[in-house]
Structure 1
Amino acid sequence: MTQTILITGCSTGFGQASARLFAARGWNVIATMRRPEADAGLSNLPNVLVTRLDVQDPASINSAFAEGLVRFGQIDVLVNNAGFGLFGVFEETAREKVLEQFAVNLFGLMDVTRALLPHFRARRAGTIVNISSGAGVFTLPMISLYCASKFALEGFSEALSYELAGLGIGVKIVEPGGVTSTSFGQRSGTEAAAAAAIPDYVPFVAASNAVFADLRAARANATSEDVAEVIYAAATDRTDRMRYVATDDIKPLVAARRETSEAEYLAFMRARVTPKLG
Structure 2
Amino acid sequence: MTQSLKGRSVVVTGGSKGIGKGIARVFALSGAKVAIVARHPDQAEAAAAEIGHGAFGVVGDVTSLASIESALEVAAKRSGGIDVLCANAGIFPQARLEDMTSQQWDEVVDTNLKGTFHAVKAAVPYLKTSDQGRVVLTSSITGPITGFPGWSHYGATKAGQLGFMRTACIELARYGITVNAVMPGNIVTEGLAGLGDDYQKTMAASIPLKRLGRVEDIGHAALYFASKEAGYVTGQTLIVDGGQILPESLEALA
Choose which of 201, 217, 221 in structure 2 pairs with 1:226: 217
| 1:182-206 residue CA offsets vs partner (Å, 9 max, x unmatched) | 123356x59xxxxxxxxxxxxxxxx
What secondary structure sits across from 2:66 in the alignment?
helix
Consecutive unaligned residues in structure 2, runs of 5 or more = 1-5
Give the aligned partner of residue 43 of structure 1.
49
Kept in 2, the 8 Å contact 1:127–1:235? The answer is yes
**Which residue does the alignment assign to 2:246?**
252
**1:64 alignment counterpart:** 71
| Structure 2 CA distance for aligned equivalents of residues 120 and 56 of structure 1 | 21
Structure 1 residue 216 displacement after superposition: 4.3
- 1:32 aligned onto 2:37: yes
In the alignment, does 2:159 pair up with 1:154?
no
User: Which residue identity is paired with 1:139?
Assistant: T
Return closer, same or farther for 1:211/1:22 CA change in 2, 3 Å cut-off. Answer: closer
Q: How many Å separate the matches in 2 of 1:88 and 1:136?
A: 15
Taking a change above 3 Å as real, the CA distance of residues 87 and 216 of structure 1, as seen in their structure-2 partners, is: farther
Out of 101, 108, 118, the position equivalent to 2:125 is: 118
Taking structure 1 as the reference length, the TM-score comes to 0.77
Higher mean C-alpha displacement, 71-80 vs 41-50: 41-50
Q: Which amino acid aligns with 1:235?
A: A
What 5-or-longer segments of structure 1 have no aligned partner?
191-209, 254-267, 273-278
For residue 8 of structure 1, what is the aligned residue in structure 2? 13
Q: How much has 1:56 moved relative to structure 2?
A: 1.5
Distance change (3 Å), C-alpha of 1:28 and 1:141: closer
Aligned-residue identity in percent:
27
Query: Are 1:238 and 2:220 counterparts?
Result: no
Whether the 8 Å contact between 1:132 and 1:174 is mirrored in structure 2 is yes
Q: What amino acid does structure 1 have at the position aligned with 2:179?
A: V
More helix by share: 1
CA contact (8 A) 1:18 1:228 kept: yes
The DSSP-based 3-state class of the residue aligned with 1:5 is strand
Aligned to 1:99: 106
The residue identity in structure 1 corresponding to 2:222 is I
What SS does structure 2 have at the residue aligned with 1:92?
coil
The answer to whether the 8 A contact 2:186-2:212 is kept is: yes
Shift in alpha-carbon separation, 1:211–1:145, aligned structure 2, 3 A: same
Q: For 1:138, what is the secondary structure of its paired residue?
A: coil
After superposition, give the CA deviation of every residue in 1:95-122 in whole Å (9 maximum; x if it has no partner). Answer: 1000011000000110111111122234
Matches within 5 A, 1:190-209: none
Corresponding letter in the other structure for 1:240: V
- 2:3 match: none
Letter of the 2:39 counterpart:
R
Secondary structure at 2:15 match in 1: coil
CA distance in 2, matches of 1:63, 1:147: 29
Inter-partner Cα distance in structure 2 for 1:212 and 1:47: 34
Relative distance call for 1:125 and 1:25 in structure 2 (3 A) is: closer
Residue 211 and residue 153 in structure 1: after superposition, are their counterparts in 2 closer, same or farther (change >3 A)?
A: same
Higher alpha-carbon Rg = 1
